[in-house]
């Protein structure tokens, strides 16, 4: 399943969720969960790859999503005012896979995580190809082609957000693919807001792709 959510508060991704102990970064970047990783073909083109450190999360990642400031730049590259700074593409496994990842032996748990990662990559790749359009002009009414590829990071979690009074949540293997609301125009290279409506139009199909890839699982060569 894939759920698209407009980001209202960028700081949410670098501070604790309610009830997540004392570390303000624990929920998204702490030892209990995997560190985030740069994600998207757009990030790769800018030289952003590998693990996302806490310094990068509070620095490059925050500036990129919240301000539209590219790495190495000091001012926003976005040419249009963005009413939404970014998008959260949340990719979740079925509960059965989450349980295998959470309580299976080391081999089974790794297989479940690998299958989820491969399926997430396939779904996000589809979204990148399908949402390669940007908005221009007053109200963003002019639509034009964009260079395919998202700018953002992926955060894989083993459990759901804890409820009030609980130290941990239910097993729920899922990834937040958090992307900046900007892409490069294929017409003149300017950075404009993504045609966000296409994210919602394609989320169901991307979810089907995720499910199909998850059922296929990693090949023997990949394990």
Distance between CA atoms of residues 33 and 171, nearest Å: 12
Is 80 inside a domain boundary? Answer: yes
The mean pLDDT of 19-31, rounded to a whole number, is 44
Of 204 and 218, the structure prediction assigns the larger pLDDT to 204
The mean pLDDT of 60-74, rounded to a whole number, is 90
- Res. 212: pLDDT tops 90: yes
Structure tokens at 69: 């400031």
The mean pLDDT of 95-99, rounded to a whole number, is 83
Q: Give the percent of the chain with pLDDT over 90.
A: 47
Looking at residue 217, what is its pLDDT? 72
Q: Would you call 180 helix, strand, or coil by DSSP?
A: strand
Looking at residue 138, what is its pLDDT? 75
Most confident stretch, 8-22, 87-101, 180-194: 180-194
- Phi–psi pair at 39, nearest 5 degrees: -140, 155
Is 25 inside a domain boundary? Answer: yes
Looking at residue 130, what is its pLDDT? 94
Structural domain span for residue 81: 2-216
Is 147 inside a domain boundary? Answer: yes
Report the domain count for the chain.
1
Looking at residue 85, what is its pLDDT? 92
Is 222 inside a domain boundary? Answer: no
Of 89 and 140, the structure prediction assigns the larger pLDDT to 89
Is 150 inside a domain boundary? Answer: yes
Locate the DSSP E strands across 146-186: 152-159, 171-180, 183-184
pLDDT in tens, 141-172: 889 999 999 999 998 877 665 545 555 556 77
Looking at residue 88, what is its pLDDT? 95
The CATH number that applies at residue 169 is 3.30.930
Is 153 inside a domain boundary? Answer: yes
Q: For residue 11, give every residue at least 6 positions away whose Cβ sits within 8 Å of its Cβ, in sequence order, or none.
A: 62
Looking at residue 80, what is its pLDDT? 66
**Contact criterion met (CB below 8 Å) for 67 and 176:** no
- Res. 60: pLDDT tops 70: yes
Is 67 inside a domain boundary? Answer: yes
Average pLDDT over all residues of the chain: 82
| 3-state secondary structure string across 124-136 | HHHHHHHCCEEEE
Is 223 inside a domain boundary? Answer: no
- Res. 10: pLDDT tops 80: no
**Contact criterion met (CB below 8 Å) for 140 and 177:** no
Instruction: Provide DSSP, 34-54.
Output: PPPEEESHHHHHTT--SB--H
């Amino acid at each position: 399943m894939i759920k698209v959510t407009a980001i209202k508060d960028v700081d949410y991704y670098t501070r604790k969720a309610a009830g997540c102990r004392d570390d303000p970064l624990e929920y998204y970047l702490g030892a209990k969960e995997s560190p985030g990783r740069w994600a998207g073909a757009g990030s790769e083109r800018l030289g952003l790859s590998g693990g996302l450190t806490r310094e990068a999360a509070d620095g490059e990642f925050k500036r990129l999503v919240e301000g539209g400031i590219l790495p190495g730049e000091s001012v926003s590259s976005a040419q249009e005012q963005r009413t939404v700074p970014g998008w959260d593409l949340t990719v979740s496994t079925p509960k059965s896979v989450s349980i295998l990842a959470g309580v299976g032996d080391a081999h089974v748990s790794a297989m479940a995580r690998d299958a989820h990662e491969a399926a997430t990559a396939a779904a996000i790749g589809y979204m990148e190809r399908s949402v390669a359009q940007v908005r221009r002009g007053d109200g963003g009414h002019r639509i034009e082609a964009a260079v395919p590829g998202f700018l953002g990071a992926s955060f894989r979690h083993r459990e759901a957000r804890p409820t009030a009074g609980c130290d941990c949540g239910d097993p729920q293997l899922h990834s937040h693919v958090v992307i900046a609301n900007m892409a490069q125009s294929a017409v003149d290279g300017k950075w404009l807001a993504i045609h966000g409506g296409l994210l919602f139009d394609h989320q169901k199909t991307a979810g089907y792709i995720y499910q199909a890839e998850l059922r296929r699982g990693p090949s023997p060569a990949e394990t």
